[in-house]
Amino acid sequence: MTDTAPLSGGSLLLAWQLKDKNVLIVGGGDVASGRIESVLVADAHVTLISPSAGLHPLTKRFIERYPERITYHDRTFGGVADLERADMVLTAIDDVEKSREICALARARRIPINVADIPPSCDFYFGSQIRSGPLQVMISTNGQSPKLANIIRKQIEQSLPENAGEAVEKVGVLRSKLRERAPGVGGELGKRRMRWMIDVCTNWEMEDLALLDEDMMAKLLDDGWEKNQVPGLEEVGGSKRRPSASTHKTASVWLLSAAAFSAGAACTVAVLLARRH
Amino acid sequence: MTDTAPLSGGSLLLAWQLKDKNVLIVGGGDVASGRIESVLVADAHVTLISPSAGLHPLTKRFIERYPERITYHDRTFGGVADLERADMVLTAIDDVEKSREICALARARRIPINVADIPPSCDFYFGSQIRSGPLQVMISTNGQSPKLANIIRKQIEQSLPENAGEAVEKVGVLRSKLRERAPGVGGELGKRRMRWMIDVCTNWEMEDLALLDEDMMAKLLDDGWEKNQVPGLEEVGGSKRRPSASTHKTASVWLLSAAAFSAGAACTVAVLLARRH
């Protein structure tokens, strides 16, 4: 708690769990297609209600590609029966009155709802997002500036280590292998496991973590975990990837300096030669 | 929709709205104090249930500092009556059985719940977060590696433009002033408004947006919006801040080059002088 930042004006940012949950999406246009993608990422089952005439090409592609994950109804919203099994409702239709009606029905049943473009009818908002494997980042400006949210998203995307998503995935696998090798919940062992994983994440570069394969993980656990130490990439049989962008940047600074050094030398020679004549 | 990224294994990242909602927090320790901060940021009213013996110093500070926003009960969870007015429940206690009991009660009432450290009892997870005014960023590794989430959070924090939060805030104010000047929902005017705001956000540097004050905003609207153009910072009476960190970085590269140039010259002089003797 810092004394300067006022504790207000924000949202509660959450990673909502939708595995095996039912999400009702009303509408099939541009916005709806984005919603479908977002909830499929979260392993939800989608029930989509929208007349086929209004389907966005992307929405059509989703329906065709994931028939087992999307139940599609070619019609408009049919009333409260459509909410029967819904764990979440997302609407993205142009009809404001209909949207508000769906919102009232959902709220009466305490089903979380987002109505596109009608903030008071939203229990939650979506933000600008980045996804790379199991790594997800959301940027919210709390409605102040969607454009800046987008600009900031792009900046963050560029600044993220190239293999951050891969690194997260590999560390997740390593972690579950460690849990198999040293099972049990909590206690001293749990603490030691957590400390060792933190040491690995701290000592290794993100791009090196992304290189971990089955053999290297086995060696890391044998030579690292068992001996309570953290061997490096080469020590477990890995080798560095080609220089990364940031290495390039450093290299170019030194090249520039070397060029300047040579230029300085050359100019001095020229000046001195000129003086001689 | 990219063909490479599988649509699964993630969460649905959300900005949950808690303004004037009631959040029940059971527990008062370290984790609970973090939860209290997060929900106060979202303008919730907190009901906190925890024996005073177990209160973390930060929790105590919150209770003392925000008596009108936190209703504190010095006792353990008392059963279903405690859920009466709750719109969300967060528990952070060591008692696993009690936690599961609270979870079952909340779910029977469709109240969203997070039970610290028991993933199956969570409708949502929290992630690593950054907050700067109305700008909020969440990093989730979907449980794969909390430590990497933290490392990535720090990297993002460092890469964010210094005044990003301020810029978002100022753009929000500018946007509402524009809406006052050219009111109405949707239609051609709505589109023009959106386009002009996008142009401002795209043409101006983030650190310049952060400098906007009342007078500059008025001039930006008079000379910009009214004439359908986007004047720059100086044109609306502003002046650049002292060089930013990135300018420093560029400057130091040139300083390094100049030093190298001088070194090259000096070495050559030395060599030539040595040769003369």
CATH of the domain at B144: 3.30.160
Say what the pLDDT of residue A273 is: 57
B70: helix, coil or strand? strand
pLDDT band for B190, please (50, 70, 90 cuts). Answer: confident
Do A144 and A197 belong to one domain? no
CA of B110 vs chain A CAs: smallest distance (Å): 6
Do A100 and A114 belong to one domain? yes
Do B135 and B202 belong to one domain? no
Is B3 part of any domain?
no
Say what the pLDDT of residue A6 is: 78
Is residue A30 annotated as a catalytic residue, yes or no? no
Identify the active-site residue in B94, B117, B215, B222: B117
List, as own/partner pairs, every contact residues A203-207 make where C-beta atoms lie below 8 angstroms and the sequence separation is at least 24, other chains included.
A203/A230, A203/A232, A204/A230, A204/A232, A204/A233, A206/A161, A206/A163, A206/A164, A206/A167, A206/B148, A206/B151, A207/A161, A207/A162, A207/A163, A207/A167, A207/A241, A207/A244
Mean pLDDT of all residues in B134-163? 94
Say what the pLDDT of residue A185 is: 73
The CATH number covering residue A104 comes to 3.40.50.720
pLDDT band for A147, please (50, 70, 90 cuts). Answer: very high
- Expressed as residue numbers, the domain containing B192 is 164-236
pLDDT band for A190, please (50, 70, 90 cuts). Answer: confident
For chain A, give the mean pLDDT: 89
Considering CB atoms only, which of B61, B206, B264 is closest to A1? B61
- pLDDT of A252 > 70? The answer is no
Is B274 part of any domain?
no
Domain termination site, one of A236, A253, A268: A236
Question: Which residues does chain B have within 8 Å of residue A267's beta carbon, measured at their own beta carbons?
Answer: 261, 265
Do B191 and B155 belong to one domain? no
Considering CB atoms only, which of A140, A149, A261 is closest to B260? A261
* Structure-token match 């086929």, residue found: A52
For chain B, give the mean pLDDT: 89
Contact B10 A41 (CB under 8 A): yes
Q: Are B140 and B151 in contact (CB under 8 A)?
A: no
Contacts of B190 (CB under 8 A, 6+ apart): B184
| B198-217 confidence digits (pLDDT tens) | 999 999 999 999 999 999 99
pTM (two decimals)? 0.83
Is B187 part of any domain?
yes
Is B260 part of any domain?
no
pLDDT band for B185, please (50, 70, 90 cuts). Answer: confident
CA of A241 vs chain B CAs: smallest distance (Å): 20
Do A94 and A57 belong to one domain? yes
Is A263 part of any domain?
no
* Structure-token match 């504190």, residue found: B72
Which of the two residues, A5 and B156, has the higher pLDDT score?
A: B156
Say what the pLDDT of residue B46 is: 98
Domain termination site, one of A105, A126, A147: A126
Is A117 part of any domain?
yes
Identify the active-site residue in A43, A74, A94, A117: A117
Q: Are B77 and B49 in contact (CB under 8 A)?
A: yes
Split into its structural domains, chain A has a count of 3
Say what the pLDDT of residue A264 is: 61
Is B208 part of any domain?
yes
Decide if the complex's ipTM is over 0.95.
no
- Give the span between the Cα atoms of A43 and A40, in whole angstroms: 5
Do A119 and A136 belong to one domain? no
Which of the two residues, B153 and A269, has the higher pLDDT score?
A: B153
Is B268 part of any domain?
no
Q: Please state the φ and ψ torsions of residue A10, each to the nearest 5 degrees.
A: -110, -170
- Give the span between the Cα atoms of A237 and B153, in whole angstroms: 29
Sign of the dihedral defined by the CA atoms of residues B154, B173, B188, B185, in that order: positive
Q: Are A23 and A87 in contact (CB under 8 A)?
A: yes
Do B101 and B31 belong to one domain? yes
Q: Are B49 and B75 in contact (CB under 8 A)?
A: yes
Do B27 and B121 belong to one domain? yes
Interface residue of A22, A121, A144 to substitute, partner B, most B CBs within 10 Å: A144
